[in-house]
Every structure is written in C-alpha cells, then in structure tokens.
Amino acid sequence: MVDLQTQYQQIKADIDYGIQEVINSASFVKGKKVQQFQEHLAEWLGVKHVIAVGNGTDALQIALMALGLKPGDEVITPTFTFIATAEVAALLGYTPVVVDVDFDTFNIDPDAIRRAITPKTKAIVPVHLFGQCANMEEILRIAEEHNLFVVEDACQAIGSEYTFANGIKKQAGCMGHIGCTSFFPSKNLGCYGDGGALFTDDDALAEKIRVIANHGMVVRYHHDLVGVNSRLDSIQAAVLDAKLPHLKEYTAARQQAAHFYDNAFAGNKHILIPARDTKSTHVFHQYTLRLIPDEGISPAEYRDNIREKLAEKDIPAMVYYPVPLHLQKAYLDPRYKHGDFPNAERLADSVLSLPMHTCLDKEQLEYITQNVLQIL
C-alpha cells in the first residue's frame, strides 16, 4: 500500500544527517530538533502553535482534555472512520455520539450533526477522511450557533487546503479550536516510528496543551493539572524536519497517481471513483473506490472477492473501514442499531482502497488498473 523504502532512498542524505545530528547531541527528548520542527511546521501551516506529542491518538486525547469537559458531556464524531476519536472521548468519560457521513465524500454530514445536538453536546470532532476536509464552513457555523468546540482530526489530511465562501483559505487542522495530526510512518507526513501534533491559534489553549502533555506540570515537579506523558522524540523530529520541505511534491505525486486511477476507471459501471469536494483540495492519504455489484449480489462479498483476486496478482488493497463505529463491539450502545446510519453501513460494505504513495510509477499504476478492470 505504501513504499517508504524508495522514498527514503531519495532523501537518504538529509535523513541520515538529521538523525546523526541528534545522536551526536545526545539530546533525545525535548531537544532542539523538536523545537525546530514545531516552528517549521507552524510556519508551513500558517498556524500560531504546533505542539508535538507521541502519536495522533494522544493528540486527540490531549485536545479533548484541554477543553475542560465534564463526564457525560457529548462529543459528536462520524461513525465511518478510524476508532481514535470515539475511543479517546470514551476513555475520558465523555459520551461519543456518532453520526452518519456523506456517501460521496466519506466525510461527516453537517445535517446529521444538527440532528444529534442535545443540551449535553460540547464538542464536534470531524475527521478529514482519506485526505479531504470535511464541510468546515457548515461545521464551524453549527459550532458557533450552539457554542461548541471543534477539534479537527487531520491525521489523514495534512496539507489539504480548504477555501471558505469568503475566499479565505486554511490548512486542514487549522480551522477549529484545535487540530490534531499523526506522523505514523504511512501518513502523508510520516516519521520512522510514532508521532503526532496539535495545532491551535489560541495562546491559552496552547499553553494548557503543553502542560497536559507534560504531566500537568507548570513548574518542574509542581503538577497543576492531571496530565499525561506524550512527546515526540528528537530522532523522529529530525526525520520529519527532513521530509517537511518535500511535502508539497509528495502531495502532488499522490494527486497525480489519483488522476491516473480516475482516468483508468472513468465510466466503469462497477466503480465510483472518489468524489472531490468543491471547497477542499484532496491530498489522497487513501485512494478509495466504491464498488457497485450487479443486482442481487452482496456488495461486501463482491468487494472481498475482488480484493482476494487482486492479492493473487500481488496487488495489495485494503478496506478502510469494514465496520462503522456504532457496530463495533466495544462501542455497542442501545441507542444505536443496524440500519441507523445507512451511508456509513453501505460504505463499509463497498469501499476498497488501492495502493497510494509518493513513489508509484506509471508501470505500477498500469499494472494495478489493468488488473482491477480485468477482474471486474
């Protein structure tokens, strides 16, 4: 699905130099490299504060902790996504409230958010799924009307740009009160281990986030808040700092591969190619098809069968995500049943993601698309 070896070979000198610098300095934790990377990323994004942490899930947890919610407060998040957003809300004693997504963009449906709001709702956590921003214009409007916090899960969408109706452009993760991202190796900006970050323009929130991520400590060994220990190590910061100058070209390479896929699949009656939102650029963390079988065939069986046949040709393909959150065992809730969120359930049965990374060449793309079409 990803080719990190080829990417490394292209920037090996810079990566090796950065890692060696950290080893020479022996400043492995909270070193200068982390500081530098935070500053470079803040400048790149056009956001005031970047606070690096241990991983993307920690970033989401720390973001919710910084909002000062109370047990039982409700946090709205999409049901078709990775588990992290609901998981951290549940861990903190808040109530994750899941809502349906748009069938075409895969992203949270603002009308569904409106319907889910109760007096206990305190935050909306949209996920910019597969690399395209959710409908932030509407989400921010809803949040303002109901006095809610917005925490963006931009783990898959770093570099995606959103254009508001007034013409203002913002980066994914830099529109809500707090944005979160992950530097997991396969993410669009990935390190060589675990990493994550929070973004905010709010000075007070930034300070609170720094304190929470560091054991709730304001003055050393004086703990003013209940915090956690979550930090990016200096070697990972060195890798990220070497990769950041390439992020624009990496995004362009993904978009080019997506364009090739689009052209190859256009007009096939069994394939819906990824829809593009008019307000957001797409950075293609995933290139995700919706497969449409002939009448009378089960979509999930059809999809799984195609996936198996691709595997026989050494073509990896993944199902992100096979089970919506409201049908996950750990999150079963009497409020939800099968059929409640039809778009998410339909997507879970029909999506298939193809290889997507920065080093896909024409030969590989031709091999993949020809085989997909042949199997269909």
Ligand X SMILES: *Cc1c(COP(=O)(O)O)cnc(C)c1O
Does 84 sit near ligand X (CB under 6 A)? yes
Closest distance to ligand X from the beta carbon of 197 (Å): 10
Binder among 184, 199, 287, 321 for ligand X (CB under 6 A): 184
Closest distance to ligand X from the beta carbon of 328 (Å): 14
Which of residues 55 and 214 has its CB atom nearest to ligand X in the complex?
55
The interface mask with ligand X, positions 267-306, x = CB under 6 A, is: ----------------------------------------
Kindly determine how many residues on this chain lie close enough to bind ligand X according to the rule CB under 6 A: 14
Instruction: Output the CA angle 79-77-202, nearest 5 degrees.
Output: 155
| C-alpha dihedral, 190 to 123 to 171 to 132, nearest 10° | 70
Closest distance to ligand X from the beta carbon of 134 (Å): 11
Output the furthest CA–CA distance in the chain (Å, rounded).
66
C-beta separation of 351 from 344 below 8 A: no
**Cα–Cα distance for residue pair 259/266, rounded to 1 Å:** 10
Closest to 188 measured CA to CA, from 133, 256, 125, 243: 243
Which of residues 188 and 281 has its CB atom nearest to ligand X in the complex?
188
Closest to 198 measured CA to CA, from 177, 224, 218: 177
- Window contacting ligand X (CB under 6 A); options: 1-9, 79-87, 97-105, 321-329: 79-87
Does 182 sit near ligand X (CB under 6 A)? yes
Q: How many other β-carbons are positioned within 10 Å of the β-carbon of residue 212?
A: 24
Does 107 sit near ligand X (CB under 6 A)? no
**Cα–Cα distance for residue pair 320/157, rounded to 1 Å:** 15
Closest distance to ligand X from the beta carbon of 293 (Å): 28
Q: How many other β-carbons are positioned within 10 Å of the β-carbon of residue 332?
A: 11
Which of residues 153 and 241 has its CB atom nearest to ligand X in the complex?
153
Does 127 sit near ligand X (CB under 6 A)? yes
Which of residues 149 and 184 has its CB atom nearest to ligand X in the complex?
184
Alpha carbon of 293 to those of 262, 269, 283, 304: distances in Å? 19, 9, 28, 11
Binder among 81, 234, 288, 358 for ligand X (CB under 6 A): 81
Does 173 sit near ligand X (CB under 6 A)? no
- Token couple for 262: 């689009």
Binder among 18, 31, 56, 126 for ligand X (CB under 6 A): 56
- Window contacting ligand X (CB under 6 A); options: 51-59, 226-234, 276-284, 338-346: 51-59
- Window contacting ligand X (CB under 6 A); options: 2-10, 81-89, 302-310, 360-368: 81-89
Closest distance to ligand X from the beta carbon of 247 (Å): 17
Helix (H) or strand (E) holding 267: none
Which of residues 127 and 372 has its CB atom nearest to ligand X in the complex?
127
Which of residues 57 and 281 has its CB atom nearest to ligand X in the complex?
57
Question: Considering only residues 135-164, where is the footprint of ligand X by CB under 6 A?
Answer: 153, 155-156
Alpha carbon of 345 to those of 103, 130, 187: distances in Å? 10, 17, 25
**Cα–Cα distance for residue pair 42/324, rounded to 1 Å:** 33
HSE of 44 in the Cβ direction (CA atoms, 13 Å)? 22
Does 196 sit near ligand X (CB under 6 A)? yes
Which of residues 153 and 277 has its CB atom nearest to ligand X in the complex?
153
**Cα–Cα distance for residue pair 272/292, rounded to 1 Å:** 8
Does 238 sit near ligand X (CB under 6 A)? no
Binder among 31, 33, 37, 57 for ligand X (CB under 6 A): 57
**Cα–Cα distance for residue pair 157/152, rounded to 1 Å:** 10
Residues that bind ligand X (CB under 6 A): 55-57, 81-82, 84, 127, 153, 155-156, 182, 184, 194, 196
